[in-house]
Amino acid sequence: MVIAVFLLAYNHGWRPKPEPLIDYLIALPLLQALYCAGKHLQRGFTRLTVEGGKLRYESGILSRSTRTMEIGKVQDVRVDQSVGQRIFGIGNLTLETAGETSRLTIAGIDQPQQAADHILELAHQAGERR
């Protein structure tokens, strides 16, 4: 944002003839800020809860999508992290369950390895109760 303000001041205040290229360069940090704000808002409307032997994943801002699965049917939990995600302590969590052909991938969650370990522990406990 500081760069955008500097370029705007340089192009329209300090130069006698503004250059259109600098106006486009100003838009880049602003577009990046809008993209980050949108991702942050989307993350705020995504929820993963485990209670009563069920795992529920809810996502969506205007329209809502909910997926519920029995915690005892979870067979595989995978954590994927890119370099950037590792720096910020976030990652993608993929759950596979028995009897279903699809996977549930949850993108950009905080502390994904701790979440995966907790889900596997709960799945193991649910399996022992059966």
Judged by phi (left if over 0) then psi (alpha if -120 to 50, else beta), residue 70 lies in beta
Over its length of 130 residues, how does the chain's per-residue pLDDT go in tens digits?
666 666 666 666 655 565 666 667 777 788 888 888 887 787 778 888 888 888 898 988 888 888 888 888 888 899 999 999 999 899 999 998 877 667 888 888 889 999 999 998 888 887 777 6
Q: What is the pTM of this model?
A: 0.66
Distance spanning both ends of the chain, measured CA to CA: 56
Q: What is the pLDDT of residue 42?
A: 77
CA pair distance 40, 60, nearest whole angstrom: 12
CA pair distance 122, 94, nearest whole angstrom: 16
Q: DSSP labels for 83-114?
A: HHHHHHTEEEEEEEETT-S-EEEEEEEESHHH
Paired with 68 in beta bridges are 56
Q: What is the pLDDT of residue 6?
A: 64
